[in-house]
């Protein structure tokens, strides 16, 4: 019983400054939901409203069946991990983790049991007497997690918990967090600006931009069927290719490319979108092709990305790493039509 | 081979480069200036210290530096005379009775007030804070007559308080607390404001109420600020002559050390050599306070809290 529902939630600071607009999401029990978007998109505010750190201007937030709009943060049965960790610097690791339990006037033995248990899960056994300043970044991050775990809350809120870690540690902690989610069987709501974290960790992802929820879905769903131009450009790296095109008789024409659309569209102008992996050195007989004047070649070992001009448009291609290309070359590339998208030029909504 | 030859040459050039020279010279000049200022600052104090060990006749006939060359004629007379003066024990006790509450009361009040100004939302907060900081600019002397009038009206004079069985120091506690509060609140609220807001939010979610946050998080983290404030306030009260003189006047049973020592000097300025000894004598307590609180000036008390 720890689902979370945002029901037409609005956050307004002043009459003309609205940071979260009509936000509707239903997060299921035990789900790992990631809120992702560029900085300033309102994702953190959405989380802080759920935590009780910000008032809700309009709408309702429910945890389970309980409306929590007017419930104090401490009574919402949630735990939050801050980006900065927010450890109490003058307390030992043990006291940091025991603090929320002491606030609930729990018995000493019970507190001890829970703290020991959490520290075991997180591998903090040997650091319980240390102060936060004597810990490494990764250890501090685990203490912050531990402080959340000991409470066994209904919902875990994580506000960019990995962004202060170095790249290698971030990768490891990502895996740890997923394991933790599986073991604890609790609802996780995770805020990040990093689409890689979102794609790898989320059961579902909610993408926000400028205070507006853009799309909610599983990572695969969002990757394959972005709802609009923003989502298509935000998810995936390198980003999807966008070329302006006109449509005539089911055929989209861009400046250096012609392709038959898999589905008819009702507009005559729009944006054609295809991911770099759709542009390859495999030219299918009779299929769509393009000539690219290569500007930059990026060899990553397993992949090779070509950045260049197709007609007057900028296009990225992912080709076989053994293909020998030099900047300045002109190459013939094929376009796979399976992952073809077409966006309305007015509404930016996906038509295909 | 070329490299082997070239490298020592380049390092030699680097060592005597204009940049290196100016760094060295800059450091040297800085040292000279700092040492010069320190010496200039300390000369009067050293002079006073030496004077306090000289005979009254010598003091009025020659400068203190002449005592540094033979024949040496040092004496402890000034100290023994000063210490045997009547009422010194009583006034030392009075000084403590005045200074300790007059430090604890404003610092404790200021800590609560500063927390409210820094982290609680209430209407008019910024204006009240501004008015309070504005009080820093009010000269002490301006308040003497109105405050004395009020104290007398309220019956808060040493005589009446003693008669009523209350400590006769109350007017001084109130006065010093009042004079100390604006600065104390200003200093502490600036310090509290600099504490990371994540800590407060985290504590809020953990279920800590306002008072718990204050006592368990804000106070322990503010020890350096509070220690320095205690030193400031204690020094100011301990060394104060003016406020004590005004509010408790000539009542010997209430007079602090400063008042008693000033009274050693006759109305025509005779016995002023006793003041030199008295000055060093009255320095002992502030020194002890300072040295014992010094260890609380911990740098980086927030380390490990909110950084990765």
Give the model confidence (pLDDT) of A325-340 as tens digits: 899 999 999 998 888 8
Q: Does the distance separating the beta carbons of A86 and B199 come in below 8 Å?
A: yes
Q: Is residue A253 less than 8 Å (CB to CB) from chain B? A: no
Q: Indicate the DSSP class of residue B65.
A: G
Q: Which of A74, A132, A147 sits opposite B305 (nearest CB)?
A: A132
Query: Which candidate, B112, B68, B98, places its Cα nearest to that of B158?
Result: B98
Give the best residue of B194, B199, B200, B205 to mutate against chain A (max A CB count within 10 A): B205
Residue of A nearest to B302 (CA): A89
Q: Which fold has domain B85-296?
A: MetI-like fold (1.10.3720)
My answer on whether A120 and A254 are in the same domain is no
pLDDT at B307 over 60: no
Instruction: Give the pLDDT of residue B8.
Output: 43
Q: Which residues of A touch B203 (CB under 8 A)?
A: 88, 99
Q: How many domains does chain A have?
A: 2
My answer on whether A251 and A219 are in the same domain is no
My answer on whether A179 and A32 are in the same domain is yes
Q: Is residue A140 less than 8 Å (CB to CB) from chain B? A: yes
Task: Decide if A59 is inside a domain.
Answer: yes
Parallel/antiparallel/unpaired status of strands A187-192 and A155-159 = parallel
pLDDT at B86 over 70: no
pLDDT at A37 over 50: yes
DSSP string, A134-193: GS-HHHHHHHHHHHHHTT--SEEEEESTTTTS-HHHHHHHHHHHHHHHHHHT-EEEEEES
Q: Does the distance separating the beta carbons of A74 and B207 come in below 8 Å?
A: yes
**Are residues B290 and B231 in contact, defined by beta-carbon separation less than 8 angstroms?**
yes
Task: Decide if A37 is inside a domain.
Answer: yes
Q: Look at residues A195, A210, A233 and tell me which one is the last residue of a structural domain.
A: A233
Which residues does B68 contact at the CB level (< 8 Å), separation at least 6? Answer: B50
Q: Is residue B205 less than 8 Å (CB to CB) from chain A? A: yes
Strand partners, A228: A349
Q: Which residues of B touch A85 (CB under 8 A)?
A: 198, 305-306, 308
Domain definitions of chain B by residue range: 17-77, 85-296
Q: Look at residues A233, A264, A284 and tell me which one is the last residue of a structural domain.
A: A233
My answer on whether A323 and A204 are in the same domain is no
My answer on whether A124 and A210 are in the same domain is yes
Q: What is the dihedral of CA A328, A332, A337, A338, to 10 degrees?
A: -70
My answer on whether A193 and A45 are in the same domain is yes
My answer on whether A208 and A320 are in the same domain is no
My answer on whether A13 and A155 are in the same domain is yes
Q: Residue A309 belongs to what domain range?
A: 245-344
Q: Is residue A87 less than 8 Å (CB to CB) from chain B? A: yes
My answer on whether A39 and A178 are in the same domain is yes
Task: Decide if A349 is inside a domain.
Answer: no
My answer on whether A72 and A185 are in the same domain is yes
The CA R_g of chain B, rounded to the nearest whole Å, is 27
My answer on whether A198 and A275 are in the same domain is no
ipTM of the complex: 0.83
pLDDT at A12 over 90: yes
**pLDDT category, B10, cuts 50, 70, 90?**
very low
Residue B276 tokens read as 């030199």
Q: Does the distance separating the beta carbons of A79 and B198 come in below 8 Å?
A: no
Task: Decide if A350 is inside a domain.
Answer: no
Q: Look at residues A195, A213, A233 and tell me which one is the last residue of a structural domain.
A: A233
Instruction: Give the pLDDT of residue A292.
Output: 93
| A260-286 average pLDDT score | 87
Q: Does the distance separating the beta carbons of B206 and A141 come in below 8 Å?
A: no
- 3-state class of A294 per DSSP? strand
Task: Decide if A240 is inside a domain.
Answer: no
Task: Decide if A86 is inside a domain.
Answer: yes
My answer on whether A145 and A264 are in the same domain is no
Domain of A278: which CATH number?
2.40.50.140
Q: Does the distance separating the beta carbons of B199 and A74 come in below 8 Å?
A: no
In angstroms, rounded to a whole number, what is the distance separating the alpha carbons of residues B275 and B64?
15
């Amino acid at each position: 019983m720890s689902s979370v529902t945002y029901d037409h939630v609005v956050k307004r600071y002043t009459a003309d400054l609205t940071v979260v607009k009509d936000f509707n999401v239903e997060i299921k029990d035990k789900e790992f939901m990631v809120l992702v978007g560029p900085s300033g998109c309102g994702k953190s505010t959405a989380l802080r409203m759920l935590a009780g750190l910000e008032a809700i201007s309009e709408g309702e937030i429910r945890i389970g069946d309980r409306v929590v709009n007017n419930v104090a943060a401490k009574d919402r049965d949630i735990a939050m991990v801050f980006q900065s960790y927010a450890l109490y610097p003058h307390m030992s690791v043990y006291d940091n983790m025991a603090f929320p339990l002491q606030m609930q006037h729990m018995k000493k033995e019970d507190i001890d049991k829970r703290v020991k248990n959490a520290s075991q899960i997180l591998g903090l056994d040997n650091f319980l007497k240390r102060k936060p300043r004597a810990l490494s970044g990764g250890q501090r991050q685990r203490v912050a997690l531990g402080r959340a775990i000991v409470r066994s809350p209904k919902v875990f809120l994580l506000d960019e918990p990995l962004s202060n870690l170095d790249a290698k540690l971030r990768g490891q902690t990502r895996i740890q967090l997923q394991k933790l989610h599986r073991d604890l069987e609790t609802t996780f709501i995770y805020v990040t600006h990093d689409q890689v974290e979102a794609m790898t960790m989320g059961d579902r992802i909610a993408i926000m931009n400028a205070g507006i929820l853009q799309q909610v879905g599983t990572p695969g769903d969002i990757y394959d069927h972005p709802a609009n131009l923003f989502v298509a450009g935000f998810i995936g790296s390198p980003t999807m290719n966008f070329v302006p095109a006109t449509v005539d008789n089911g055929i989209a024409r861009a400046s250096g490319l012609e392709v038959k659309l898999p589905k008819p569209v009702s507009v005559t102008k729009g944006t054609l979108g295809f991911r770099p992996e759709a542009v390859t050195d495999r030219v299918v007989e009779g299929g769509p092709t393009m000539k690219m004047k290569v500007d930059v070649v990026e060899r990553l070992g397993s992949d090779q990305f070509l950045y260049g001009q197709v007609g007057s448009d900028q296009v990225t291609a992912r080709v076989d790493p053994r293909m020998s290309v030099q900047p300045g070359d002109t190459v013939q590339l094929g376009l796979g039509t399976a992952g073809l998208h077409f966006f309305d030029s007015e509404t930016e909504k996906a038509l295909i | 081979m070329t490299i082997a030859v070239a490298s020592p040459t380049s390092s030699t050039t680097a060592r005597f480069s204009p940049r290196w020279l100016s760094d060295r010279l800059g450091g040297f000049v800085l040292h000279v200036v700092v040492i010069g200022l320190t010496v200039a600052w300390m000369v009067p104090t050293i002079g006073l210290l030496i004077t306090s060990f000289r005979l009254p006749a010598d003091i009025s006939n020659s400068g203190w530096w002449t005592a540094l060359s033979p024949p040496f004629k040092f004496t402890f007379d000034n100290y023994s005379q000063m210490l045997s003066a009547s009422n010194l024990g009583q006034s030392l006790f009075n000084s403590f009775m005045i200074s300790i509450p007059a430090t604890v009361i404003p610092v404790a009040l200021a800590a609560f007030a500063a927390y409210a100004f820094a982290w609680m939302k209430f209407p008019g907060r910024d204006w009240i804070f501004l008015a309070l900081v504005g009080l820093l600019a009010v000269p002490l002397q301006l308040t003497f007559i109105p405050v004395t009038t009020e104290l007398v009206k309220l019956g808060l004079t040493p005589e009446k308080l003693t008669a009523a069985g209350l400590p006769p120091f109350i007017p001084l506690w109130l006065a010093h607390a009042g004079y100390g509060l604006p600065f104390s609140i200003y200093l502490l609220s600036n310090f509290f404001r600099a504490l990371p807001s994540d800590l407060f939010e985290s504590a809020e979610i953990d279920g800590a109420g306002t008072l718990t946050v204050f006592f368990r998080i804000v106070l322990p983290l503010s020890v350096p600020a509070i220690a320095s404030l205690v030193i400031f306030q204690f020094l100011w009260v301990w060394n104060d002559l003016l406020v004590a003189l005004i509010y408790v006047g000539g009542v010997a049973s209430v007079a602090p050390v400063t008042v008693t020592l000033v009274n050693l000097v006759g109305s025509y300025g005779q016995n002023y050599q006793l003041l030199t000894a008295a000055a060093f004598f009255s320095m002992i307590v502030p020194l002890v306070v300072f040295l014992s609180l010094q260890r609380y000036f911990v740098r980086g008390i927030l380390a490990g809290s909110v950084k990765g």
